[in-house]
Amino acid sequence: MKATAKAHTNIALIKYWGKRNEAIILPTNNSLSLTLDGYYTTTTVEFDESLSQDQFILDEQIASGEQYNRVTAFLDIIRQMAGKQLFANVTSVNEVPTAAGFASSASGFAALAAAGSKAIGLHLSEKELSRLTRRGSGSACRSIYGGFAEWEMGMREDGEDSYAIPIAPANYWDIRVAAVVLSATKKSVSSRAGMRRTVETSPFFQGWLDSISYDLAEIKQGIKARDFQQVGEIAEANCMKMHATTLGAKPPFTYWHDTTLVVMQKVWEMRSQGIPVYFTIDAGPNVKVLYLPEHEAYIEQTLGELQGVTDIRLSKPGQGITYI
Ligand code: DP6
C-alpha cells in the first residue's frame, strides 16, 4: 500500500482565474498551460492499518496547520473513492523554490493524487487522475500531463466533466521560460482569495470571461503551427487581462511591484528591437519570460542586469506524472 510519484509544476498561458464552485474547485473558464522541467515535487504515500491519523512530512519537517489540513482533506477524498478507512504517511520533497514564484501546490497535489490513488489501489486513468487532482488545487490538474495541457472547465455541477486533457507533449516544441525572481518581499493576496474577490466585486471580470474563447482558439492554433509570436502575444495579452480584473476589484489590489513593471518594460523593449520575447505573471510579483532557445543567453544577461532582479531560473517543457 505504498507508492511514489513525481510531478512538475506548470505555467498557465491562458489563466485559470475565477471559480464557480469553491468547495470542489470548479473554474469559470478553461485554462491552458505548459508543464516545466525544472520544478517538481516527489511524494511517497503509504497507507498503514496501524496508524490512527495521517502524518505529513514536507521537506523533512512535520507539517501542521493549513498545510496538513489540505493534505488530510485531500486524502479523505481518496479514501472515499476507494471505500477504505486507512490513514497514511505522506512524505514530500519540493524542488520548487518558492522564490521563483511558482506554486508548489500544482506539483504537490499532482504528485499526492498520483501516489495516493496508486497506493490505495485505485487504478485511475489520466483523466480520472486529473479530475481528482483538481480537488486539491485547480491549477494542479494540468500537471498530470507533460508539455501543453488544457483544463476543460466542464458544465456539470458535480465536476465530473472538469479535468485537463493533453494538447501536445513536452518534446513537441522547445519553448523556454525564464522565471525572473525579484527582491520584493511583501506578501501578496493568495490566488484563492484574489480570485474570489475578483469574481465577487470586479466589474472587469465579465470582460475577462468574454475574452477567453478567442484567446484559447488563437493560442491552440499558434501551438499547432508552432508560431511563437502568436502564442506569445496571446499569452501576454491574457495575463494582462487577468491582472486588469484585480484593479477593478473592491478593494482593488495588484500582484505587481515596481520591479515587475521594469521587467515588463524590458521585455517590450527587447521586442521592439526584433527579439521574440513575451511574459506572463501569476498571483505574485515575479515575471515569467517566454523565449526560444536561440535567444537564451541574451535574455538571461539582459534581464539579469536589471536592478531589483535577484535571480533568473531557466526551464524547458517538462514531463507529466511519473511513478518511481
Ligand atoms: C494565477 O490553482 O493556486 O496561477 O484552485 O484555489 O488552489 P486553487 O488556485 P490555484 O490558482 C492558480 C491561479 C494562477 C493561474 C493559473 O495557474 O492558471
Angle at which helices 65-82 and 126-134 pack, to 10 degrees?
Answer: 140
The residues, ordered by sequence, that sit 6+ positions from 196 with a Cβ below 8 Å of its Cβ are 19, 22
Q: Tell me: the pLDDT tens digits for 130-171? A: 999 999 999 999 999 999 999 999 999 999 999 999 999 999
Over range 31-50, report the average pLDDT.
Answer: 97
Q: How many CA atoms lie within 13 A of 187 on its CB side?
A: 2
Strands 148-152 and 87-95: unpaired
Over range 184-207, report the average pLDDT.
Answer: 91
pLDDT at residue 186 greater than cutoff 90:
no
3-state secondary structure of 279: strand
Over range 30-51, report the average pLDDT.
Answer: 97
> What is the Cα–Cα distance from 194 to 209, expressed in whole angstroms?
16
Ligand 1 pocket, mutate which of 74, 139, 240, 253 (most atoms under 8 A from CB) = 139
Residue 98's pLDDT band (cuts 50, 70, 90): confident
* Residue 103 grid coordinates: 506554486
Lowest mean pLDDT: which of 25-29, 189-193, 243-247? 189-193
Residue 109's pLDDT band (cuts 50, 70, 90): very high
Q: What is the pLDDT of residue 123?
A: 95
* Residue 193 grid coordinates: 482569495
Q: Distance, CA 16 to ligand 1 centroid (Å)?
A: 6
Q: What is the pLDDT of residue 56?
A: 97
Q: Distance, CA 118 to ligand 1 centroid (Å)?
A: 25
Q: Tell me: the pLDDT tens digits for 73-96? A: 999 999 999 999 999 999 999 998
pLDDT at residue 100 greater than cutoff 90:
no
Q: Distance, CA 139 to ligand 1 centroid (Å)?
A: 5
Q: What is the pLDDT of residue 102?
A: 80
Return the bridge partners of 12, or none.
33
CB 43 within 8 A of CB 91: yes
Q: Which atom of ligand 1 sits closest to the CA of residue 151?
A: 18
In angstroms, how far is the first alpha carbon of the chain from the final one?
Answer: 14
Q: What is the pLDDT of residue 226?
A: 98
Percent of the chain with pLDDT over 70: 98
Q: Which atom of ligand 1 sits closest to the CA of residue 27?
A: 5
Residue 36's pLDDT band (cuts 50, 70, 90): very high
Over range 196-205, report the average pLDDT.
Answer: 98
Amino acid at 280: T
CATH of 2-169, one of 3.30.230.10, 3.40.50.1820, 3.40.50.1220, 3.30.565.10: 3.30.230.10
Q: What is the pLDDT of residue 35?
A: 98
Over range 38-65, report the average pLDDT.
Answer: 96
Q: Distance, CA 190 to ligand 1 centroid (Å)?
A: 9
Q: Which atom of ligand 1 sits closest to the CA of residue 134?
A: 5
| Global model pTM greater than 0.95 | yes
The number of beta carbons lying within 10 Å of the beta carbon of residue 41 is: 28
Rg (CA), the chain: 19
The number of beta carbons lying within 10 Å of the beta carbon of residue 248 is: 15
Q: Tell me: the pLDDT tens digits for 245-297? A: 999 999 999 999 999 999 999 999 999 999 999 999 999 999 999 999 999 99
pLDDT at residue 104 greater than cutoff 90:
no
Whether ipTM > 0.95 holds is yes
Over range 29-43, report the average pLDDT.
Answer: 97
Amino acid at 156: R
Strands 2-14 and 322-323: antiparallel
Strands 163-168 and 148-152: antiparallel
Q: Distance, CA 165 to ligand 1 centroid (Å)?
A: 17
Strands 163-168 and 309-315: unpaired
Q: Which atom of ligand 1 sits closest to the CA of residue 25?
A: 5
Q: Distance, CA 254 to ligand 1 centroid (Å)?
A: 15
- The CATH H-level superfamily of 176-315 is GHMP kinase, C-terminal domain (3.30.70.890)
pLDDT at residue 30 greater than cutoff 80:
yes
Length of the chain: 324
CB 289 within 8 A of CB 180: yes
The more confidently predicted of residues 190 and 20 is: 20
Our CA angle for 238, 244, 246, nearest 5°, is: 120
Tell me if the bond preceding 252 is cis, omega within 30° of 0: no
> What is the Cα–Cα distance from 164 to 188, expressed in whole angstroms?
27
Q: Which atom of ligand 1 sits closest to the CA of residue 106?
A: 2
Name all residues whose Cβ lies below 6 A of ligand 1.
12, 15-16, 25, 31, 103, 105, 137-139, 191-192, 282-283
- Every domain of the chain and the residues it spans: 2-169, 176-315
Q: What is the pLDDT of residue 108?
A: 97
Q: What is the pLDDT of residue 185?
A: 67
pLDDT at residue 119 greater than cutoff 70:
yes
